[in-house]
């Protein structure tokens, strides 16, 4: 049974339909990349999975249980962890407080966050709004990891970051998946980075899946991906 199964999901905002009859699944421990140009519905897909966009029809199953009507806070408790595109760090809390407010019992705790990103430990008494973009992203990822999710959803985690930081984050995400065995869904504009980090990928265009396959195959024949994502 897949960890997450999305079946013919139609979703959007108010009366506006953004995703049309979308179906996909993520297995336990699997990495899925979601690619596509700006405005095709990648963030909306994440919001719909987390319960923050309006589901008009279709179903969402988590470990076989329908969660289409389950409120967002309960989905988070069930093990769906989301790192939003805006990062949403609490500006007036310290790094450590940002981590601790999110914490839920499990294998990943404060020490793991600091082991993962020693820079966060160095800055643990800094206020959230005094961090660089890269540090904010590290904090946003760790804050979600502190909830000990089974599935980690990352929305453009590399956006606006220097290449050296992107490399560091990529290495960390790869290691985390190997060591902790959780599943990831990563939305990225940097398609090649996302493919290198995932097992499988889907490419969206105007709210629909237009291409899907094994990441290694899509990397090997990148021209067909580029056709959908080139601006
Ligand atoms: N809160 C909202 N209300 C209405 N429409 C929205 C909202 N957020 C996004 N949209 C629209 O939904 C479409 C998909 O947006 P989005 O999911 O953010 O795309 P992506 O993440 O792929 O760039 C766009 O046309 C966008 O204008
Ligand atoms: Mg987006």
pLDDT (mean) for 12-24: 97
Q: For ligand 2, a single-atom ion, which residues have Cβ within 5 Å? A: 42-43
Closest residue CA from atom 26 of ligand 1: 39
How far, in Å, from the CA of 16 to the mean position of ligand 1?
A: 10
Mean pLDDT of the chain: 93
Residue 231 scores a pLDDT above 80:
no
Q: Taking CA 54 as the corner, what is the angle to CA 61 and CA 68, rounded to the nearest 5 degrees?
A: 20
User: For 107-148, how does the pLDDT look when each residue is reduced to its tens digit (9 = 90+)?
Assistant: 889 999 999 899 999 999 999 989 998 999 999 999 999 999
Q: Is 18 in the pocket of ligand 1 (CB under 6 A)?
A: yes
Q: How confident is the model at residue 92 (pLDDT cuts 50, 70, 90)?
A: very high
Q: How confident is the model at residue 217 (pLDDT cuts 50, 70, 90)?
A: very high
How far, in Å, from the CA of 133 to the mean position of ligand 1?
A: 23
Rounded-to-integer distance, Cα 103 and Cα 84, Å: 17
Rounded alpha-carbon distances, angstroms, from residue 70 to 60, 65, 80? 10, 10, 12
Residue-by-residue DSSP string for 63-80: TTEE-TTS-HHHHHHHTE
User: Which region holds residue 160: left if phi is over 0, alpha if psi is between -120 and 50, else beta?
Assistant: left
pLDDT (mean) for 190-215: 96
Give 29's contacts (C-beta < 8 A, 6+ positions apart): 177, 181, 182, 183
Q: Is 86 in the pocket of ligand 1 (CB under 6 A)?
A: no
Q: Map tokens 């108010």 to a residue.
A: 14
How far, in Å, from the CA of 82 to the mean position of ligand 2?
A: 13
Q: Which ligand is nearest to the CA of 208?
A: 1
Ligand 1 nearest-atom number relative to CA 46: 17
What percentage of the chain exceeds 70 in pLDDT? Answer: 100
Ligand 1 nearest-atom number relative to CA 36: 22
What percentage of the chain exceeds 90 in pLDDT? Answer: 78
User: For 20-39, how does the pLDDT look when each residue is reduced to its tens digit (9 = 90+)?
Assistant: 999 999 999 999 999 999 99
Q: Are 211 and 219 in contact (CB under 8 A)?
A: no
**Angle formed by the axes of helices 133-145 and 95-102, to 10°?**
30
Q: Is 207 in the pocket of ligand 1 (CB under 6 A)?
A: no
């Amino acid at each position: 049974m897949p960890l997450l199964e999305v079946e013919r999901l139609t979703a959007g905002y108010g009366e506006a339909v953004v995703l049309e009859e979308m179906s996909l699944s993520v297995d336990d421990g699997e990495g899925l990349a979601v690619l596509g140009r700006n405005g095709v519905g990648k963030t909306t897909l994440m919001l719909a999975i987390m319960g923050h966009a309006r589901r008009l029809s279709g179903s969402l199953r988590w470990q076989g249980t329908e969660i289409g009507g389950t409120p967002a806070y309960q989905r988070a408790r069930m093990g769906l962890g989301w790192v939003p595109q805006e990062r949403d760090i609490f500006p007036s809390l310290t790094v450590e407080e940002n981590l601790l407010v999110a914490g839920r019992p499990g294998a990943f705790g404060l020490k793991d966050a600091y082991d993962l990103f020693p820079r966060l430990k160095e800055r643990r008494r800094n206020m959230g709004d005094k961090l660089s973009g890269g540090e904010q992203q590290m904090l946003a990822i760790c804050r979600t990891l502190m909830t000990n999710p089974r599935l980690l959803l990352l929305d453009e985690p590399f956006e606006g970051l220097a290449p050296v930081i992107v490399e560091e984050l990529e290495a960390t995400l790869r290691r985390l998946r190997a060591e902790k065995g959780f599943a990831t869904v990563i939305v990225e504009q940097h398609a090649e980075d996302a493919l290198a980090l995932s097992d499988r990928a889907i490419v969206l265009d105007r709210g629909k899946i237009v291409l899907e396959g094994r990441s290694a195959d899509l990397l090997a024949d990148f021209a067909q991906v580029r056709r959908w994502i080139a601006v």
